[in-house]
Amino acid sequence: MPQGKNILIASIVVVAVIVLVVFGFMKKPSPAPTQDQNPPNTSSENTASSVPKTPPPPITQTKTPPNVVVPEENSKNVPANVAKPENVSVLNSDAGTKFRTFKISAAGNQFTPNTMIVKAGDVLKIEFTAVDKSYDFTQPNYGIRPFSTEKGKTRILNFQAGGLGKFTFYCTLCGGPTKGPVGYLIVTQ
């Protein structure tokens, strides 16, 4: 009789697991916020649960600002906060894509310059220098997790600009986008 009891208990456990899995897949996920919506309130003040909530990830992509001009290496009248490319080479003349080299430094909890403007499809080479302490370059939309650079060192970061928008990059070591240096990659057509 104990063997029959064990089979019955095992059967009940298997059925319970199947029911939980089925109901788990039937639950409709809540939609992710769009650029024009605020994320849902995640504070614990309106909930009975005392479990701390994970803060929502920072919004690192917004719409491309109107009338932005992509500077070339010989451009004049480029604002001081906008990185003028050190080098620009044509990659694909049919597609209009270019290879652009930028120099960005981090010092005094600021990126200088703090804005790069490129066209979608361009390939970027960023020479990232940490001047007075260790900094990192983080941009989640491009999968760039903390790309750390030690004080006094320069590291090179390469990636291709994808979708259109204004993308925030920041230093995670310095406290993230609300506490540390912040910069912008503007991708236009």
Q: What is the CATH number of the domain that holds 145?
A: 2.60.40.420
> Is residue 20 domain-resident?
no
Domains of the chain: total: 1
Q: How far is CA 138 from CA 36, 88, 98, 100, 119, in A?
A: 23, 24, 23, 19, 20
Which tokens in the block code for residue 161? Answer: 């600009």
- Can you give the pLDDT at residue 182? 96
> Is residue 10 domain-resident?
no
Q: What pTM, to 2 d.p., does this model score? A: 0.68
> Is residue 28 domain-resident?
no
Write out pLDDT tens, residues 129-186.
Answer: 999 999 999 999 888 988 899 999 999 999 999 889 999 999 999 999 999 899 999 9
Element (H, E) at 10: helix 2-26
Confidence check: pLDDT of 187 > 70: yes
> Is residue 110 domain-resident?
yes
- Can you give the pLDDT at residue 13? 63
At residue 79 the predicted structure's pLDDT band, cuts being 50, 70 and 90, is very high
Cβ pair 167, 139 in contact under 8 A: yes
- Can you give the pLDDT at residue 19? 55
Q: What is the chain's mean pLDDT, rounded?
A: 81
Cis peptide upstream of residue 177 (ω within 30 degrees of 0): no
Write out pLDDT tens, residues 26-77.
Answer: 444 433 333 333 334 433 344 444 555 555 556 788 888 899 999 999 999 9
State how far the Cα of 113 lies from the Cα of 86, in Å rounded to an integer: 13
Write out pLDDT tens, residues 83-112.
Answer: 999 999 998 889 889 999 999 999 999 999
> How many Cα atoms sit within 13 Å of 154 on the Cβ side?
10
- Can you give the pLDDT at residue 12? 73
Cβ pair 129, 153 in contact under 8 A: yes
Amino acid at 48: A
Domain residue limits at 178:
61-188
> Is residue 1 domain-resident?
no
State how far the Cα of 53 lies from the Cα of 43, in Å rounded to an integer: 7
> Is residue 51 domain-resident?
no
> Is residue 93 domain-resident?
yes
- Can you give the pLDDT at residue 10? 66
> Is residue 162 domain-resident?
yes
